[in-house]
Structure 1
Amino acid sequence: MTVFTCGQLSDVAHTLGGNLHFQRELSGEQPVLDGEQQVQVLSEGLVLYFSRSRDLVDASSDNRLAPGITAAFLLQGEAEVSLPRQRLHFDARPGGQRAMLVNLTDSDQFQRHWRSGREETKVCLSITPDWLQQVAIGSQLRSDALLRFSRSHWHSLPWQPSVDILQRAHQLLERDATLPPLMQRLQRESFALDLACDILRGIDTPQEKRLGSHLERCLARLKEWLDSGEADALSITDMARQLGTNPVDLQNAFRSRNGTTIAAYLRRQRLARAYQAMRQQGLSVEDAANLAGYEHLSSFSAAFKREYGFPPSQARR
């Protein structure tokens, strides 16, 4: 991790086309952020940004957001920003709002609110108007919904990254340091293109294909169960019965919204809980296997390695 001073962070923002300044006067030598920032500008006009950071000050800062579509989501932690006419709190914990999707037709200002000690791990993809015009609007991804969204200033839509996107983002952050630079770039380019397609298809979803209010409530409650562990001992039939719907509709709606099945999502969440317990609490591999619901250590190790690309023995610190 690197400690960034106010002046250094302003320089980083400037190289990315931003204009960062704090609302209360801070010395250029004042440490404001502890973390790492990774930016990759792709030739197609996509800008992919990863950050892990911890705030070192209580403050608010203004920065400039470039024209185009910006999608951001948290992998861990919390964040708070102010856009025109709304203040948003993001939280990667179960039940929290972790993502934002917004379009700007012109460069404009937004605010970030800092709280000393608060941590966040964030992924952001910026889609430039040129890329959108050449690649999306001029292709089969074009739709009236996409055109309306891209022509409205500060237009935001509810959006959540798919489970596959979240898992791949975790893997990129964990495995990038072990890869040669060329492989890092290729993997990130592939991820950025898949993320862009995920975003654009979300914008393009016709109104008639959206879910009814009852099923939306079912999915929201189910997501809370899956994320918290409340659903670990329930079958899909049990889940549907308790939610007041049927297993087929519940499974189809969940797959449509999250890009994976309920069982696959649950398996990944249990692996993620085991992973975090090993990293943060020093849990043994054997106890982590039990936490993830695996009777055999070999099965847990194989599933863990498929998911994260390394054996569970390397997850402990």
Structure 2
Amino acid sequence: MTVFTCGQLSDVAHNLGGNLHFQREMPGELPVLDGEQQVQILGDGLVLYFSQSRDLVDASSQNRLAPGITAAFLLSGEAEVSLPHQRLHFDARPGGQRAMLVNLTDADQFQRHWQCERQETKVCLSITPGWLQHFAFASQLCSDNLLRFSRNHWQNLPWQPSAEILQRAHQLLARDAGLPPLLQRLQRESFALDLASDILRGIDAPPEKRLGNHLERCLLRLRGWLDSGEANDLSITEMARQLGTNPVDLQNAFRSRNGITIAAYLRRRRLEQAYHAICQQSLSIEEAASLAGYEHLSSFSAAFKRQYGFPPSQARQ
């Protein structure tokens, strides 16, 4: 990790086309950020950005966001930003809002709120108007939803990255250090294209099928149970009974809303808890396995590797 002073961070932002400045005056030599930032500009108009950082000050700053579609999501930690007429808090923990998806027709300012010692690991992809013009509009592949989205300034959608995208992002950050530069670039280019596809699918997704009010309330309560751990010892039949519905309707509605079954969501959430416990709380692999609900270490290691692409022993590296 590298410690950036206020002046150095402003220079980095300027080199990337931004215009970073803090709302209160700070000395140029004041350390403000401890972290690492990696930017890959692809020739066809996609810009992929990875950052791992820790705030060293309490402050607010403004920066310029380029025109086009920008998607950003957290792999860990928290972040807080302000868009015009909207303040957003992002949290990578299960149940939190970890992502945003916005479109700008012109360059504009956004605000970031800093909190000393707050950490975040973030992935961001910018899709330039030129990329859209060449690959979507000119080839007549642009849907009505995408066309409407791209024509509105500060258009904002409640997008969340797919489980596959989250898994690959974790893998890229874990493996990059040991890869030759060319292979690293090729893997990131492939990831950027797949992420762009995931983003465009999110824009084109049809409105969610409306469920009955009772089932909507059941899903809301169920997500709270799953994320808090209250449902860890309940079967789906028991969940449905306590919610006042039947297991088939509950399972079908949950899959429709989240793209996976209740059991798969619960396994993923437990593994996310184990991952953060290993990285941030220094739990042993055995303790993390128990936290995730696994009796056998081999089963936990296999499930962890399927989700993140590397064994739990490498999670701290």
Q: TM-score, normalized by length of structure 2? A: 0.90
1:79 and 2:79 matched: yes
Measured in 2, the distance between the counterparts of 1:257 and 1:291 equals 27
- Could you tell me how far 1:141 is from its partner in structure 2? 5.4
CA RMSD of aligned residues (A): 2.3
Q: Which moves more between the two structures, 294-303 or 67-76?
A: 294-303
Partner of 2:289: 289
Query: How many residues align structurally?
Result: 316
1:48 and 2:73 matched: no
- Could you tell me how far 1:149 is from its partner in structure 2? 0.7
Measured in 1, the distance between the counterparts of 2:201 and 2:277 equals 35
Partner of 1:171: 171
Measured in 1, the distance between the counterparts of 2:27 and 2:251 equals 55
| Contact kept? 2:94, 2:272, Cα under 8 Å | no
Residue-by-residue CA offset, 1:1-38 (whole Å, 9 max, x unaligned) = 11001111111111211111112211221111111111
Measured in 1, the distance between the counterparts of 2:297 and 2:90 equals 36
CA gap of 1:53–1:135, structure 2 versus 1, over 3 A, is same
1:101 and 2:101 matched: yes
Partner of 2:226: 226
* Structure 2: gaps (5+ residues): none
| Contact kept? 1:163, 1:260, Cα under 8 Å | no
Partner of 2:263: 263
| Contact kept? 2:94, 2:269, Cα under 8 Å | no
- Could you tell me how far 1:292 is from its partner in structure 2? 1.9
Residue-by-residue CA offset, 1:162-217 (whole Å, 9 max, x unaligned) = 2222222222222221222222222222222222222211111223x444374554
| Contact kept? 1:105, 1:150, Cα under 8 Å | yes
SS at match of 2:231: coil
| Contact kept? 1:94, 1:224, Cα under 8 Å | no
What does 1:95-174 correspond to in 2, within 5 Å? Answer: 95-138=95-138, 142-174=142-174
Measured in 2, the distance between the counterparts of 1:218 and 1:125 equals 35
Q: Which amino acid aligns with 1:14?
A: H
| Contact kept? 1:18, 1:64, Cα under 8 Å | yes
| Contact kept? 2:46, 2:131, Cα under 8 Å | yes
| Contact kept? 1:162, 1:257, Cα under 8 Å | no
- Could you tell me how far 1:128 is from its partner in structure 2? 0.7
Q: Which moves more between the two structures, 125-134 or 229-238?
A: 229-238
SS at match of 1:10: helix
| Contact kept? 1:283, 1:316, Cα under 8 Å | no
| Contact kept? 1:211, 1:253, Cα under 8 Å | no
Q: Which moves more between the two structures, 307-316 or 68-77?
A: 307-316
Task: Work out the percentage of aligned pairs sharing the same amino acid.
Answer: 81
1:305 and 2:305 matched: yes
1:33 and 2:52 matched: no
- Could you tell me how far 1:285 is from its partner in structure 2? 2.6
Measured in 2, the distance between the counterparts of 1:245 and 1:193 equals 41
Q: Which amino acid aligns with 2:303?
A: A
Measured in 2, the distance between the counterparts of 1:13 and 1:216 equals 43
Measured in 1, the distance between the counterparts of 2:126 and 2:272 equals 27
SS at match of 1:47: strand
1:212 and 2:186 matched: no
What does 1:65-76 correspond to in 2, within 5 Å? Answer: 65-76=65-76
| Contact kept? 2:69, 2:103, Cα under 8 Å | yes
Q: Which amino acid aligns with 2:211?
A: G
Q: Which amino acid aligns with 1:102?
A: V
Partner of 2:199: 199
SS at match of 1:34: strand
| Contact kept? 2:74, 2:91, Cα under 8 Å | yes
Q: Which amino acid aligns with 2:242?
A: Q
Q: Which amino acid aligns with 1:60?
A: S
Measured in 2, the distance between the counterparts of 1:289 and 1:149 equals 43
Measured in 2, the distance between the counterparts of 1:41 and 1:128 equals 11
- Could you tell me how far 1:249 is from its partner in structure 2? 4.2
| Contact kept? 1:54, 1:120, Cα under 8 Å | yes
Measured in 1, the distance between the counterparts of 2:276 and 2:131 equals 37
| Contact kept? 1:164, 1:260, Cα under 8 Å | no
Measured in 2, the distance between the counterparts of 1:148 and 1:109 equals 22
| Contact kept? 1:31, 1:56, Cα under 8 Å | yes
Q: Which amino acid aligns with 2:41?
A: V
| Contact kept? 1:61, 1:112, Cα under 8 Å | yes
Measured in 2, the distance between the counterparts of 1:139 and 1:213 equals 40
